[in-house]
Structures are given as C-alpha cells and as structure tokens.
Amino acid sequence: MYNEVAFDLIKVRLAYLVANVVMAVMVLLSGRSELIWLSIVTAFVLWITCSDMMDNYPRARVYTMCAWNDIVVLVTSFYFGFECGFFLNIFAQVPVSIFYGYVYFASSGKKFKGWITWVLAIASLYISLIIGRTHVPVVGFTKDVSVAVFMVNSTACLSFIIFVCVSIRNELIHVQEKNMDKAALDLLTGLRTRRLFDAEFNDRGLKTSEICAAIMDIDDFKKFNDNYGHNAGDKVLQTISDIIMEIEIRNSSFMACRWGGEEFVIIAPIESYDILKHELEVMIKNLKLTDIEIGGTRHRVTITAGLACPGKGSRNSLEDLIGRADALLYQGKKAGKDRLVEDTERGR
C-alpha cells in the first residue's frame, strides 16, 4: 500500500501550498484577476492527487501532478516571463518520477513509465524557453522584482528536490533494514541467527550473571544426514526449531537461536532456571516419541542438552557461559546421549 512508502504526502501538500501562495502573491502583484482561477484549479488538483481516494490509482496521481505542474509552468511563463524562474518547478518533478518509478513501483512489483513524465518535463522546459524568448510577458516586472521572484522559485524548487532525495534515502534505509532483519533470521528454521542473538542480547542490556543458558545438539545428526539426505536433515532441524519457538512463546523472557549447524541455544533469567529445566526435560522426553515423516517414512531423533548458570558473583561473558553449558552437553554425549545434564555447581 502507498502508506508503506516513506514519501510524506503532508510535506508534498505543504510544498504545493507554498507554490500556490507564491502564485497568489504574483496574482495580486500583477493585478490579473483571471490568474486567480489558476490558483483555484491548482489547489483543487493538489487536494485530489494527495487525497486518500487516489491511493488505488498511484500512476494517475503521479501523471496528474506532473502534467499539471507543466501546465502551471507554461501559464506562469507566459504571463510573467522566463526570468521569474517558474520553469524551475519542472526540475522538481524529475526526482519525483524517479522516486515513484524506481523506489515505490519497482519495490511493489508494478510498472511505471517514468519516461512519460520526463518527456513532459523536457517539452515544457523548451516551450517555456521559447515563450520567454519570443513573447513579451503580459505582466511586466522590474528587474529587482523578477530577481526576487526567481530566488523564491529557486529556493522552493531546491527545497523540494532535497525533500524528495531525503525521502528516497529514507526508503532505501527502510528497505535495507528489512533485508537485514530477514538476513538476521535463519532462513531454514526461522530462529535468530547467532549474529542477531548477540545483538539482541546487548540491546536488551542483559547481564551474564543474571541468566542461565542451555545448549542443545541433535544426536548423531551427521549420520542421519548421510543415511537419509540433507532434505531429511532439514526437516528434523525445522521440527526441533518449531518446538523451541513454542517454548519461547510460552516464556516471553526466554531467548533462543540456532547457534550453528545442529546446535541450538536458549537463555533465560536465572530465576527461571527451573522453568527452563522443565521445558528441556519435556522436550527431550517428547521428541524421542515424536514421529517425523520424511518421504513417506517415519523417523525419530533425540537431543542432548547442557544447562548452566554462572557461579555466584560470576562476571563471565556470554560465550563463557554457553561454553560451560557446552561442556555439560559433552558430558551428556559421553554418558549415552538423549538426556539433559545440568550444572551441579549452580549458585556456587
């Protein structure tokens, strides 16, 4: 939808309002009352193109805004001359069409013929130049007044171009952040990657001394992959990841990630140690009874986990804490796998 784009219609309205005010002042200075209609129609076009009713017709919005802008340029050049600088407004519509054509429409999968607005802009520029060279302005201003009007138009045009460029920058940043968020989640499992996990740990201001950590590893996963193929292995990873995500949903203070390969990590507040322990025990018990259907056949896997917490007054890093849990995991592997090994030195 249009409101997802960084282009701010309120600012567009303000920009057109300023242009309309300038034109109204020119009308008063010129004494040409017929130009009042130009201001009225411009205000109407502004209201229509920037209203919500045009959200479903984005191309019509752009074409109308640009075409009317060209008409205004030609009329004002005819009345006030080329020297007043109304032709500068043509340059403002170029970045607008670029923004729509290459940021909004391209990102939404729609086609936009930006060359139409560029042709209109070039044609209007040359026509206004011809008018300025061959036609005596209907309203003659002194050189000082013409220069003043030129400065106002050039300032308004430059400000509008800067605004559009900033909008393009903001949209590109928005797209980049969305892509980074997607990259930060593991594509296969949907869990956090290790990079996102570390960043979120720091953003939350968590302290290692106040958390416990569990690391899990799928038993004999390499052998499973070799026997049944990587697609089967991916199915196992996804099944276990779904269970871990359910644990995290039930316990909002928990934070999980795919640590790497077939390893997963969950951290929890130290006061939730017993809850995490219970969740892991239930997971290990249920998983070995769960049939994972792959290619018409059913398979079962087991996991081994290590659960650790820092000693009393410990200032170890997150890596040290997870390393401690990993050592417990290794003990579980040596003891026969399919089990949880917890920290016997908890709180010491």
On the question of pLDDT at 59 being above 60, the answer is yes
Rounded to whole angstroms, how far apart are CA atoms 96 and 163?
A: 10
On the question of pLDDT at 109 being above 70, the answer is no
Among the residue ranges 130-144, 154-168, 207-221, the one predicted with the least confidence is: 154-168
Rounded to whole angstroms, how far apart are CA atoms 325 and 161?
A: 57
Strand partners, 269: 211
Q: What is the pLDDT of residue 22?
A: 65
- For 153, the token pair is 């138009």
CA distances from 306 to 11, 38, 198 (A): 56, 76, 19
Lookup result for tokens 């020119």: 26
Cβ–Cβ under 8 Å, residues 261 and 284: no
On the question of pLDDT at 305 being above 90, the answer is yes
Express each pLDDT in 164-201 by its tens digit: 777 667 767 776 666 666 567 888 999 999 988 988 89
Cβ–Cβ under 8 Å, residues 26 and 89: no
Rounded to whole angstroms, how far apart are CA atoms 262 and 235?
A: 12
In degrees rounded to 5, what are phi and psi of residue 190? 80, 0
Q: Where in the chain is the domain with CATH 3.30.70.270?
A: 194-342
We find that the CATH architecture of domain 194-342 is 2-Layer Sandwich (3.30)
Across 297-319, average pLDDT:
84
CA distances from 242 to 148, 188, 281, 297, 327 (A): 67, 11, 16, 20, 25
Among the residue ranges 5-14, 77-86, 143-152, 171-180, the one predicted with the least confidence is: 5-14
In degrees rounded to 5, what are phi and psi of residue 212? -120, 160
On the question of pLDDT at 38 being above 80, the answer is no
On the question of pLDDT at 106 being above 60, the answer is no
Express each pLDDT in 243-275 by its tens digit: 999 999 999 999 999 998 999 999 999 999 999
Q: What is the pLDDT of residue 162?
A: 78
Express each pLDDT in 196-238 by its tens digit: 898 889 888 888 888 999 999 999 999 999 988 888 999 999 9
On the question of pLDDT at 2 being above 50, the answer is no
The residue that leads in pLDDT, 97 or 207, is 207
pLDDT band at 4 (very low <50, low <70, confident <90, very high): very low
How far apart, in Å, do the first and last CA atoms of the chain sit?
56
Q: Which of 45-49, 179-183, 332-336 reaches the highest mean pLDDT?
A: 332-336
